[in-house]
Chain A
């Protein structure tokens, strides 16, 4: 059974810092990995999707990497802003919807 862990559970940084969020998974036989952002009381917004054949994806100040062999993904946020404050979740995709496993998320607070 796939298990997805996100560490730390919460992170607080001053504005302008570059930061890294971590996601680890136990079964490396994955098809893709997706990073989401969730604001309080809202739905999930897709940030980046990495296919299993890819090593990284970039969108603006966000860069996500994937290392299947070690069961790890990182989300790098450059020059953080208070508007980046949210919970960030990673989800590891297998061959069916049942195999899409979510982590518990990292709650990020960027202080002005």
Chain B
């Protein structure tokens, strides 16, 4: 138990569906992140929120839409995805300092399959 909870753990969707991934952290951290992990590739940073404000968008396609209503919750809204978007989506949180991202704590991930 890392203090970061992701739901659902598994999701299968068609290319025309709309779905959302949810992340909740119970660690009192001020920053939350979405990462994408594809087979045989290093983790890719997608979005960063610091105190609910988006501070990084790593050139992610608009079919991925993040939402951070408060410092404890983070969503990733998905629509009109492509099969190549199938991956493990990981949420993380940290207590950011002035100069560093801080130690990252990850959730268990949401395994997404796009048919």
Q: Mask for B82-115, Cβ within 8 A of A = 1, else 0?
A: 0000001010100010011101111111010000
A97 touches B108 (CB 8 A): no
Q: Is the CB of A102 within 8 A of B43?
A: yes
**Known A96-B56, A97-B31, A97-B33: A42·B109 in contact at CB below 8 Å:** yes
A43–B101 contact, CB under 8 A?
no
Hey, which chain B residues are within 8 Å of A95, CB to CB? 99-100
Q: Does B48 contact A (CB under 8 A)?
A: yes
Closest residue on chain B to residue A31 by CB atoms: B100
Does B62 touch A at the CB level, under 8 Å? Answer: no
Cβ-defined contact, A97 with B101, below 8 A? yes
A43/B2 contact (C-beta < 8 A), A31-B99, A31-B100, A97-B101 known: yes
CA distance A83 to B107 in the complex (A): 20
Of A100, A102, A103, A104, chain B has the most CB atoms within 10 Å of the CB of: A100
- Measured CB to CB, the closest approach of chain A to B21, in angstroms, equals 13
Residues of the B chain whose Cβ atoms lie less than 8 Å from the Cβ of A89? 43
Within 8 A of B (CB), among A92-112: 93, 95-105
* Residues B104 and A46 in contact, CB atoms below 8 Å apart: yes
Contacting pair A42 B45 (CB below 8 A): no
Q: Quick check: B56 and A46 within 8 Å, CB to CB?
A: no
List residues of A whose CB falls within 8 A of some B CB. 4, 31-32, 34, 36, 41-46, 49, 89, 91, 93, 95-105
